[in-house]
């Protein structure tokens, strides 16, 4: 367990810092103006799913590299890095063009012209940072495949430190610069992304391990034969991320006609549980690295032991999170609002969130274990069945119809989330059991 935790805690802090960057953007844009806050929120709802679906493809780097490192073939990882860089640059180019022309999507959404103008400015600004974002994420996945998780943590913390003054200067127009509002928030994020990429390149250059590997020499353009295994492994990861994110987005849209109190309670609870989710997510990433190393070393029994330790840690983290919610749900809700009605609804949602800490921790940890086995296609199907074919319909029935009980509003959707996550945990654990029997046969 010590080895798993040594990999997981830097990943946790890195994820927390990246989440905090988004929180700072929202907070500072909100203090500047309500319309600018809405522009940043709407813009984030557009670029984040686009980025996550592409990031999943790049995340294939970690298990591919981990297997080669475990097999004591680190020199072969350079080819995987070159393939990943080619894909990162290609995907970032597509994302850049889409965000630069997001006015087409905004017009189709019939957004208020003033809000659409601010949102387009924010997206156009942040799009200039997308090449840096994609390449940085690729390089982070690459070094994490070697078990090096601390550099990503340190660079993410640096990004957070830089983001606050840059936001202040560019949003509010300090140091002789014009007030840019939401657009300034986009430019601040863009600059931070290039700072993070530069920091990563400096680390690779000065690292005793990566410096002597000459990672960017003897560049060869990948062929379809070398690209396809990378895409085949990474595409399901991106689709699974998109399925999960889009489910939460759709729930928010389906709550729109139930009033601002229901929407607000849902958003507050999502915000808090998303923060807690960073812990099992970090554990999941650590499991991918550790299991990948051990399978690369041809040690399936060791990988099984690691998986069992990881699942036990997941249950421990879930128990601590559930205990915290049980003891402090009133205080948690009061951090976000003073409205007593909103607090009451938030508390009811937090009690459901308490219950789904366990299946949520199990399903994300098992996903990481399966990625360590290079198994991503079947888990994608299982996640789709659990979330979209079971959890979301169940939530809709409970929230907006009288088929089972009186309509429960946001609470009904959260019961649906609980059902979907439970089904996902059961299906993914069953998949791992089947896969493990084959490995140990």
Q: What is the pLDDT of residues 96-154, one digit of tens each?
A: 999 998 888 777 767 778 888 888 998 999 999 999 999 999 999 999 888 888 888 89
- Whether 47 contacts 318, CB under 8 Å: no
The neighbour count for residue 326, using CB atoms within 10 Å, is 11
Mean pLDDT of the chain: 85
By three-state DSSP, how is residue 283 classified? helix
Tokens linked to 66: 């981990």
Type and span of the H or E element at 114: helix 113-127
The answer to whether the beta carbons of residues 172 and 179 sit under 8 Å apart is yes
Q: Helices 260-296 & 410-440, crossing angle to 10 degrees?
A: 10
State pLDDT tens for residues 258-317: 666 777 777 778 778 877 888 888 888 888 988 888 988 888 888 888 889 999 999 999
pTM (predicted TM-score) = 0.83
Tell me the C-alpha to C-alpha distance, in Å, between residue 337 and each of 5, 243, 253, 439. 35, 30, 21, 51
In which residue are the tokens 């650590």 written?
286
Q: How many CB atoms lie within 10 A of CB 436?
A: 16
pLDDT band at 430 (very low <50, low <70, confident <90, very high): very high
Which pLDDT does position 247 carry in this prediction?
Answer: 80
Question: How many residues appear in the chain?
Answer: 441
Check residue 325 and give its pLDDT.
92
Mean pLDDT across 243-261: 72
The model's confidence at residue 365, banded by pLDDT at 50, 70 and 90, is very high
List the Cα angle 317/323/326 in 5-degree steps.
Answer: 140
In this prediction, residue 423 carries a pLDDT of: 95
List all residues 6 or more positions away from 295 whose beta carbon is below 8 Å from its beta carbon.
Answer: 67, 70, 303, 372, 373, 439
Residue among 237, 121, 251 nearest 189 (CA): 121
Q: Measure the N-to-C terminal CA separation of the chain; round to a whole number of Å.
A: 25
Q: Could you tell me which of 129, 48, 91 has the C-alpha nearest to residue 234?
A: 91
pLDDT in tens, 165-221: 998 899 888 887 777 888 888 899 999 999 999 999 999 988 888 878 777 777 777
Q: Are 37 and 23 in contact (CB under 8 A)?
A: no
Average pLDDT over residues 9-26: 76
Model confidence at 235: pLDDT above 80: yes
Structural tokens at position 151: 């550099």
Closest CA to 106 of 30, 34, 43: 43
Q: Comparing 77 with 319, which gets the higher pLDDT?
A: 319
């Amino acid at each position: 367990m010590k080895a798993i935790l040594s990999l997981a805690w830097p990943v946790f802090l890195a994820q927390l810092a990246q989440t905090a960057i988004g929180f700072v953007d929202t907070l500072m844009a909100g203090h500047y103006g309500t319309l600018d806050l809405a522009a940043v929120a709407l813009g984030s709802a557009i670029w984040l799913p686009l980025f996550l679906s592409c990031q999943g493809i790049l995340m294939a780097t970690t298990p591919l590299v981990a297997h080669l490192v475990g097999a004591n073939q680190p020199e072969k990882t350079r080819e995987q890095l070159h393939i990943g860089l080619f894909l990162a640059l290609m995907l970032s180019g597509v994302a850049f063009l889409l965000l630069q022309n997001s006015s087409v999507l905004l017009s189709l959404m019939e957004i208020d012209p003033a809000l659409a103008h601010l949102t387009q400015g924010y997206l156009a600004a942040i799009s200039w940072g997308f090449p840096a974002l994609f390449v940085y994420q690729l390089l982070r996945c690459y070094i994490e495949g070697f078990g090096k998780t601390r550099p990503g943590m340190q660079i993410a913390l640096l990004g957070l430190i830089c983001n606050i003054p840059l936001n202040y200067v560019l949003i509010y127009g300090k140091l002789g610069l014009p007030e840019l509002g939401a657009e300034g928030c986009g430019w601040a994020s863009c600059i931070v992304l290039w700072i993070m990429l530069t920091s990563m390149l400096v680390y690779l250059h000065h690292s005793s391990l990566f410096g002597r590997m000459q990672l960017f020499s003897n560049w060869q353009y990948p062929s379809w034969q070398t690209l396809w295994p990378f895409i085949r492994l990474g595409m399901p990861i991106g689709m699974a991320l998109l399925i999960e994110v889009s489910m939460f987005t759709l729930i928010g849209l389906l709550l729109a006609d139930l009033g601002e109190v229901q929407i607000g309670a849902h958003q507050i609870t999502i915000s808090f549980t998303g923060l807690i989710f960073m812990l099992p997510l970090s554990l999941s990433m650590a499991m991918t690295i550790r299991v990948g190393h051990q399978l690369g070393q041809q040690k399936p029994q060791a990988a099984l032991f690691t998986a069992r330790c990881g699942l036990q840690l997941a249950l421990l983290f879930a128990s601590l999170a559930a205990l915290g919610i049980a003891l402090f749900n009133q205080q948690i809700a009061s951090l976000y609002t003073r409205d007593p009605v909103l607090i009451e609804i938030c508390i009811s949602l937090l009690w459901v969130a308490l219950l789904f800490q366990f299946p949520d921790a199990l399903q994300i940890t098992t996903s990481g274990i399966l990625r360590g086995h290079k198994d991503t296609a079947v888990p994608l199907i299982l996640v789709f069945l659990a979330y979209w074919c079971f959890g979301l319909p169940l939530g809709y029935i409970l929230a907006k119809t009288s088929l089972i009980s009186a309509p429960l509003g946001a609470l009904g959707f959260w019961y649906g989330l609980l059902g979907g996550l439970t089904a996902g945990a059961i299906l993914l654990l069953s998949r791992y059991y089947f896969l493990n029997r084959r490995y140990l046969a």
